Amino acid sequence: GQNIDQPTEMTATEGAIVQINCTYQTSGFNGLFWYQQHAGEAPTFLSYNVLDGLEEKGRFSSFLSRSKGYSYLLLKELQMKDSASYLCAVEDSNYQLIWGAGTKLIIKP
Amino acid sequence: IAGITQAPTSQILAAGRRMTLRCTQDMRHNAMYWYRQDLGLGLRLIHYSNTAGTTGKGEVPDGYSVSRANTDDFPLTLASAVPSQTSVYFCASSAGQGSSYEQYFGPGTRLTVT
């Protein structure tokens, strides 16, 4: 079966760094996406990885290891507005996105 | 530029009733998708369309139907609603199908079936 695993909830402090992990088992792999979703809103795109390694985009970075079926999203210099759910999604061999349940990130002052 | 719009924003529906959720995009994207999002579960794909005139089934298509008569519109119909279809429904679009094409999401429709 296809499976995406993420922690359900994480708490971090404003100004700190947090790493959100995602492990996956899917039928085929065509890329991995991270999306951000604020409560009551639609998901919005954060990052895309298809090759192993780190992709950096401002305060956010995403890492991929295809051999380990593993990715992480790294958020630096946390701000209160970063309080949201972070969704990991893998594109399978049918070019469909398989989504994790999301990690709710709580930022405390 | 609106992006993707969905209607209605929310709806309470009696079981057994027919309902169409509307989705319109103005980005001229080829691919469109319908997802449902339930607490504790990831987004699940209901139906998709890679281009106008074609549709396909996703992970949870039973009880739902779609049509894609033109590029902009992708309505989702519940023929006879059941309580298990209570969910938040998101429509999304992407420029193409496949890797590197990010999906853009509408604001969602919160549906309660009683």
- Mean of the pLDDT values across residues A46-64? 96
Give the angle subtended at the CA of A58 by the CAs of A13 and A22, to the nearest 5°: 65
Output DSSP code: residue A81.
G
| Residue A89 near chain B (CB below 8 Å) | yes
Is A32 near chain B, with CB under 8 Å? no
Residues 41-80 of chain A with CB under 8 A from chain B are 41-45, 48, 50
Nearest to B105 among A43, A50, A101 (CB): A43
* Percent of chain A at pLDDT exceeding 90: 91
Q: What pLDDT does B99 receive?
A: 62
pLDDT in tens, chain B (114 residues): 579 999 999 999 999 999 999 999 999 999 999 999 999 888 999 999 999 999 999 999 999 999 999 999 999 999 999 999 999 999 999 998 766 689 999 999 999 999
Average pLDDT, chain A: 95
pLDDT of residue A103: 98
Q: Measure A100 CA to nearest chain B CA, in Å.
A: 5
Q: Is A23 on the interface with B (CB under 8 A)?
A: no
Per-residue confidence at A6, pLDDT binned at 50, 70, 90?
very high
CB B45 within 8 A of CB B92: no
Q: Residue B14: which residues within 8 A CB-CB, separation 6 or more?
A: B81, B113, B114
> Cα–Cα distance between B43 and B50 in angstroms, integer?
19
What is the Cα A60 distance to its own chain's centre?
10
* A30 at interface of B, judged by CB pairs closer than 8 A: yes
What is the model's pLDDT at position A65? 98
The whole-number pLDDT of residue A93 equals 86
| CA R_g for chain A | 13
Which site among B32, B37, B46, B90 would you substitute to test the A interface, given the most A Cβ atoms closer than 10 Å to its Cβ? B37
Q: Is the dihedral of CA B37, B41, B42, B46 positive or negative?
A: negative
> A92 to chain B, minimum CA–CA distance in Å?
9
Cα distance between residue B94 and residue B74, in whole Å: 13
d(CA B17, CA B28): 32
CB contact under 8 A, B42 and A41: no
Strands of A38-82, DSSP E: 44-49, 53-57, 60-65, 70-75
Confidence of residue A82 (pLDDT cuts 50, 70, 90): very high
Alpha carbon distance B91, B72 (integer Å) = 12
- Using alpha carbons only, what angle is made at residue B72 by residues A49 and B63, rounded to the nearest 5 degrees? 80
**pLDDT for the residue numbered B1:** 59
The distance of A17 to chain B (nearest Cα, Å) reads 25
What is the pLDDT averaged over residues A55-71?
96
Residue tagged 């065509």 (tokens): A30
CB within 8 Å: A42 and B45: no
The full 3-state SS of B35-96, as one line of letters, equals EEECCCCCCEEEEEECCCCCCEECCCCCCEEECCCCCCECCEEECCCCHHHCEEEEEEEECC
